[in-house]
């Protein structure tokens, strides 16, 4: 399989419509790839909190339209990164905001939407401005099943185990990860690959968002934890990689650690009563 990760910038000086067109042209240039991946919140910038509301779109809004067409023109599976999605309120009107990823098939149909489960920011930013998703999402491609997660989700291994249990062999993680914690990004991408014996395709953002320098360093890791490709830095870059999806099954068969899982360990354990 060939995948292209588009590490793009969300510069405040670039009008969002121009960026959509520019990114769509880049997607079209990837014709011949099997899968193209974009980063998190590339229309607003992942740290441009004040733009989440004004830049929000319905699921089938302008980004959806432009990306569906680009996927179809290029004939690729497209993980179009995420958008600030304005959900519907139960009685009509404006509902909550979600950080929602869109995945398109090569005929331009929406194959899946994933609302980010772990919101970043503790008591500010995304954590208070957006609502959490609740559903794990996998998508069957001809060669592999992808499991999707977004940025901060990378810190929560149980989410990835859920994806693996649902059949995921290739874990796709769009992000807007800050430079300050770049070492965590690389470490966690490799850890998720090793522990799940899966490919990890993690696509970061270039440049600076709302004053927050981005790590860039998009990365592709194989099921043995080896780095197959890594962006040179935090500038815009197209990272293209060839990988063999069958290696996931081979790795899981040859080193069957996933079969040794002991389930049901989440509950806190009480100490055994003393027998003296
Ligand atoms: O976990 C981190 O260090 C970064 C997470 C983040 O920036 C995000 O989820 O938007």
269 lies in a domain? no
Domain harbouring 116, CATH code: 3.60.110.10
Task: Reply yes or no on whether the pLDDT at 265 is more than 90.
Answer: no
Give the closest residue (by CA) to ligand 1 atom 9: 152
pLDDT at 90: 85
Among the listed residues 105, 110, 107, 108, the one whose alpha carbon sits nearest the alpha carbon of residue 83: 110
271 lies in a domain? no
276 lies in a domain? no
Residue bearing tokens 């957006």: 130
pLDDT tens digits along 136-185: 999 999 999 999 999 999 999 999 999 999 999 999 999 999 999 999 99
* Bridging pattern class, strands 94-104 and 77-88: antiparallel
Active site residue 116: yes
pLDDT tens digits along 203-260: 999 999 899 999 999 999 999 999 999 999 999 999 999 999 999 999 999 999 999 9
What share of the chain has pLDDT > 90, as a percent? 92
CA angle 56, 214, 204 (to 5 degrees): 70
CA angle 200, 205, 208 (to 5 degrees): 150
Range of the domain at 113: 2-256
Residue of 177, 181, 209 best suited for mutating to test ligand 1, as the one with most atoms within 8 Å of CB: 177
Average pLDDT of the residues of the chain: 96
Confidence of residue 105 (pLDDT cuts 50, 70, 90): very high
Among the listed residues 32, 34, 36, the one whose alpha carbon sits nearest the alpha carbon of residue 172: 36
Task: Reply yes or no on whether the pLDDT at 120 is more than 80.
Answer: yes
Query: Across residues 74-101, what is the average pLDDT?
Result: 95
Residue bearing tokens 């690389």: 186
Confidence of residue 276 (pLDDT cuts 50, 70, 90): low
Query: Across residues 27-34, what is the average pLDDT?
Result: 98
Between residues 93 and 41, which one has the greater pLDDT?
41
Contact 56, 86 (CB under 8 A): yes
What separation in Å is there between the alpha carbon of 72 and the centre of ligand 1? 31
275 lies in a domain? no
Active site residue 40: yes
Q: Which of 151, 169, 230, 237 is catalytic?
A: 151
CA 46 to ligand 1: nearest atom = 10
Q: Which of 85, 116, 126, 230 is catalytic?
A: 116
What share of the chain has pLDDT > 70, as a percent? 96
272 lies in a domain? no
pLDDT at 211: 94
262 lies in a domain? no
CB-ligand 1 contact for 181 (6 Å cutoff): yes
261 CA to centre of own chain: 25
Active site residue 151: yes
Counting the structural domains of the chain, the total is 1
From residue 236, alpha-carbon distances to 66, 159, 269 in Å are 20, 29, 48
């Amino acid at each position: 399989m060939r995948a292209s990760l588009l590490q793009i910038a969300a510069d405040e000086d670039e009008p969002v419509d121009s960026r959509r067109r520019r990114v769509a042209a880049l997607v079209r240039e990837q014709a011949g790839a099997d899968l193209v991946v974009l980063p998190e919140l590339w229309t607003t910038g992942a740290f441009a909190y004040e733009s989440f509301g004004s830049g929000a779109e319905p699921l089938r809004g302008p980004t959806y339209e432009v990306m569906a067409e680009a996927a179809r023109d290029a004939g690729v599976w497209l993980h179009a990164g995420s958008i600030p999605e304005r959900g519907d309120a139960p009685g009509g009107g404006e509902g909550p905001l979600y950080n929602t990823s869109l995945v398109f098939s090569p005929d331009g149909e929406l194959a899946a939407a994933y609302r980010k489960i772990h919101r970043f920011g503790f008591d500010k930013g995304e954590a208070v401005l957006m609502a959490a998703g609740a559903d794990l999402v996998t998508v069957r491609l001809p060669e592999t099943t992808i499991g999707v997660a977004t940025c901060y989700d990378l810190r929560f291994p149980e989410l990835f185990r859920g994806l693996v249990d649902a059949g995921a062999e290739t874990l796709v993680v769009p992000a807007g990860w800050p430079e300050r914690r770049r070492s965590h990004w690389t470490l966690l991408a490799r850890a998720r690959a090793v522990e799940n014996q899966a490919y990890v395709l993690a696509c970061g953002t270039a440049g600076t968002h709302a004053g927050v320098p981005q790590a860039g360093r998009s990365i592709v890791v194989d099921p043995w934890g080896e780095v197959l490709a890594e962006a040179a830095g935090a500038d815009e870059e197209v990272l293209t990689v060839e990988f063999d999806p069958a290696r996931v099954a081979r790795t899981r068969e040859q080193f069957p650690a996933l079969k040794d899982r002991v389930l049901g360990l989440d509950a806190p354990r009480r100490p055994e009563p003393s027998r003296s």
